[in-house]
Amino acid sequence: MNARTLLTSTVLIGSLLACGGGGGSTDNQPKTATSLTYTDPTTGTYQLRKNTSLSTATHLVLELWGPATTSGCGVSLTLTLSGTGAAWQKVQATDAAGVYAANGTAFNLGSGTPILKSKVTGGTLVATVAEKGTATPKTLDKALIRVAMDLQAGTTQGAQVLLTPDAATCQVLLADGTLAPVTVAVSGITAQ
């Protein structure tokens, strides 16, 4: 091999190495999500629906809606968030610390101490809202109770957040004062 061929080969190999082989560069880093997306369920008697006026890109507010054919005075929910993409939060920034549920538009909580309680343990939220007594039951085709979650920092785009209702403890307080279990329909939540 002569010096000229050796020099040309060395320059060619050096050029290829400097360019990374000529294949161009790609960003292999996962993208960070900037929003939570949720589509209301299309089936089910009791549904968790998105409140579009209270939700933002990173703050998702969901409301439990029931049927127009049933009257009641309160509801209880147990919902579990799985994954690290979202965490339970106050429905509105002005809500008291540690309150993870808000009254919807169906029930009149009256004066004095309201029957509105919520607790978060790990990813599980337990919440109850009710009127005082059963004298004035309401039709349940309105927002019964509101809950909210926030997108967690560093969540990867496309991450799925699972929201699972507990069929044994999701209940409605009927007009006659009995508690009836309800099946709550939910949709998937995706970090985008």
pLDDT digits (tens, 9 = 90+) for 46-96: 999 999 999 999 999 999 999 999 999 999 999 999 988 999 999 999 999
3-state helix, strand, coil in the chain (%, to 5): 10, 40, 50
Q: Can you give the CATH number for the domain in which 163 is found?
A: 2.60.40.680
Q: Is 14 inside any structural domain?
A: no
Query: pTM for the whole thing?
Result: 0.84
Q: Identify whether 185 is part of a domain.
A: yes
**H-type alpha helices, the chain:** 3-18
Q: How far is CA 30 from CA 57, 135, 152, in A?
A: 19, 55, 15
Q: State which residues form the domain around 106.
A: 36-191
pLDDT tens per residue, range 128-161: 999 999 999 999 999 999 999 999 999 999 999 9
Q: Is residue 7 part of a domain?
A: no
- Check pLDDT > 90 for residue 112: no
Q: What pLDDT is attached to residue 8? A: 44
Domain-embedded: residue 9: no
- In this predicted structure, the answer to whether residue 175 has a pLDDT above a threshold of 80 is yes
Q: What is the pLDDT of residue 11?
A: 43
Q: Is residue 4 part of a domain?
A: no
Q: Based on the structure, what is the number of domains in the chain?
A: 1
Q: What token pair was written down for 126?
A: 């337990």
**154 φ/ψ sector (left φ>0, alpha ψ -120 to 50, else beta):** left
150 falls within a domain = yes
d(CA 116, CA 102): 7
pLDDT at 84: 83
φ/ψ (deg, to 5) at 132? -90, 100
Mean pLDDT of 119-136: 95
Q: Is residue 74 part of a domain?
A: yes
